[in-house]
Amino acid sequence: MEKVVERFLKYVKYDTQSSMDTKTTPSTPGQMVLAEAIKKELEEIGLHDVSLDSNGYIMATLPSNTDAAVPTLGFIAHMDTALDASGKDINPQIVKSYQGGDIVLKNGLVLSPKEYPSLNNYKGQDIITTDGTTLLGADNKAGIAEIITTAEYLINNPEIKHGTIRIAFTPDEEIGEGADHFDVKKFNADFAYTIDGGEIGEIEMENFNAAHAKINIYGKSIHTGSAKGKLINSITVASELMNMLPAGQKPEYTEEYEGFFHVNDIRGKIEHTYLYMIIRDHDKPKFLEKKKLVEDMVKFLNAKYGEGTVVMELEDQYFNMREHIEPVMYIVDMAKQAMESVGVTPKQRAIRGGTDGARLTYMGLPTPNLFTGGHNFHGKLEYIPIPSMLKAVEVILKIVELNNNNKK
């Protein structure tokens, strides 16, 4: 079991931050470097049918060792890290037997239970944190480490009976493209789990409906001495657009099932400003209303400043998987039973985000999401308690065992 930590600390050293700008798959070369290393490792521990395709998708098989006809079970994680903080030169530190209080990191950053009270749940435990200069990468390299450790344990303990198990690791989940080239037919599982959730006990079968808007705003540059009635400052138009968004519908003001608009990239000069926005809501009608609002805003600004001033690409990214999971709720119930069997309290929640599993579910592979154990994903205050990682491995093992009770 201690190998899960060893693997995790090894994987986070790979810079696999994805990129929205390259238009390639994987979007960054570091993801393929990690993929090649993982492929080699999977072959070395004895998995079958190990493959790595040109888009950076890894698949492998642990063949059945039972005569019973049970469903083929899949486990999936992603290799890329988020764009929100650097994923290069990650130097994790282990806080031994955390006794409470502040954890001081570099650059004046402090991981404090006053701001993050969940830390109080892990007193006495070893906790892996960042050094304060990068994110940690538990999202989702903890999931990779937990899946591979489980597979190796099953290979080394053949007395544990199981059906066929399929494993996959994907690129570019953080930019919403993790399922773009996922071959569901090749994966050939009856259902799967992404190991991509947060704190211990999390289980998620519903998520946001999601879209993103890429908005280009074109201005007219005129010398300020004669600009009256002629100059159109694209930065000003972008500011006007953002001010038209509902003030309370932003991530920092919403929780649980409340949706939002989030502008997370803006850059520009007078003649051109680029703005990137994500749109989220669990409720499908409200999601459609949000998209229409943004479309209406663009129409208004074009009517005001001239057609072609604001050009928007509005695209759906993924949808709420709940309606496709409910007909196979036994896979959620099985995960809950597995957690309870190893002393973990299930915490069923709606994802305020999305996973590869959301899109895979719509592609015909029901895929709820389970915890990795991590907290504060996508930032420099990310951390993961080691016992939570060990419990994740135990839960995966128990799901494998419980699946023997299902009939294909």
Q: Which residues are catalytic, by number?
A: 80, 173
Radius of gyration for the chain, computed over Cα atoms and rounded to the nearest angstrom: 23
Q: State the pairing for strand pair 202-207/93-95.
A: unpaired
What is the C-alpha to C-alpha distance for residues 172 and 161, in angstroms, rounded to an integer?
34
**Bond prior to 26 in cis (omega within 30° of 0):** yes
Q: State the pairing for strand pair 260-268/48-52.
A: unpaired
Q: What is the largest CA-CA distance in the chain?
A: 84
**Distance, CA of 109 to chain centre:** 24
Q: What is the DSSP letter of 81?
A: B
Place of tokens 């000003």: 236
Amino acid at 377: F
What is the C-alpha to C-alpha distance for residues 110 and 108, in angstroms, rounded to an integer?
6
Residues of 375-394 as b/e, b for ≥16 C-beta within 10 angstroms? bbbbebbbbbbbebbbbbbb
